[in-house]
Amino acid sequence: MGTGRLVWSEGLPRVLGHDPAALPDADAWAAHVHPDDRAAVATFEAAIVEGATTYEGEYRFRRADGTYAEVADRCT
């Protein structure tokens, strides 16, 4: 079961330009998901909250410079 915490990889600053401290929780993270992808992300987040033990999803995430990166997200 998930912990309810966001855990950033050490590559976050290098790949997306964000300091992990600037994205301390799910709301701060979600604000950077592309608006067209938020519904899909909300769907797999809800599955985790409801007890799913794994998920995979792809979405666009805003880099610190304002451009978007394609992200493959996985929880196992």
> Average pLDDT of 27-56?
85
Give the pLDDT confidence of 9-21 residue by residue, as tens digits.
777 778 889 888 8
- Provide mean pLDDT across the span 31-53: 86
Q: Which residue's entry shows tokens 């309810």?
A: 4
Distance CA 20, CA 13 (A): 7
Token pair recorded at residue 75: 């929880």
Q: Using pLDDT thresholds of 50, 70 and 90, give the confidence band for residue 1.
A: very low
| CB 40 within 8 Å of CB 57 | yes
